[in-house]
Amino acid sequence: MLLGAHVSIAGSIAKSVDRAQELGCTTFQIFTRNPRGWRAGKLRDEEVEEFRRRRREARYEVVVAHMPYLPNIASPVKEGWERSVRSLVEELRRCDALGIEYLVCHIGSHLGKGVEVGTSQVVRAVERAIGEADPKCVLLLENMAGQRGSIGSRFEEIKEILGRLSFGDRVGVCLDTCHLYAAGYDVRSATGLEETLRSFDELVGIRELKVLHLNDSKGGLGSRLDRHEHIGLGNIGKEGFRRIINHPKLRRLPMIIETPEDERGDYSRDLGVLRSLYEGPAG
């Protein structure tokens, strides 16, 4: 089971490997830089070498990175869009330097200009970024929760984006369970999960799904509320996650939690719950 958490890089990127090991992770996700600003310090050679060495010694097959918070590749505003594309190019290059397999990027918001405008901006951004960076790292577009102005909360929108890319083989999808539920996909129930996966496979293709973000949802079904909750304490619930992590189409994917750390629990708690729900290798 490839199960992990989004861990901190405080002190150095290499320390993220130690933090993942302490949690018993078999995969993990990081920001390669401060996620709350636009500027990124240049990666030092020794920092890259140390991260690669520790990862190699810890035998992590798959590591995932996540884009910072500020970029919006769907933006219709030229200055913001250009800045977002530059950030995406830089992150792809940083991932390649670190040997990271996947970079997750929120699809973003059209800021009131409409889905078609936003979709076109996303396609342009991805085409330009991959053309400039020429990465080995695979870019993963993450589904949105259906917030006002967002793109990619519906599988039809993800299909449209991927279908217009000439670099399609270098772009995949990351599905977030909280976002799915908030957008109206009932991954809590057995029939709802099957219908969700059937729809995704028919519209996008299950082969495009590379990573899962496992987060319970504070909001109800179709609430459009992007609020993560501890595993089992939200509206998806323990039995919902039991079905998700053991589903034959999902069980071999890297799974990352991005759950809260508060008085009710932390990553150790949520990883423990998921491990207790895992039913072992498929026959």
Active site residues: 36, 66, 69, 106, 142, 176, 179, 213, 226, 228, 258
Asked if 28 and 20 touch (Cβ cutoff 8 Å), the reply is: yes
Burial group, residue 265, by CB count within 10 angstroms (0-12, 13-18, 19+): middle
Cα separation, 228 vs 219, in Å, equals 8
Asked if 6 and 30 touch (Cβ cutoff 8 Å), the reply is: yes
Cα separation, 59 vs 155, in Å, equals 34
Closest CA to 3 of 219, 214, 149: 214
Cα separation, 216 vs 231, in Å, equals 5
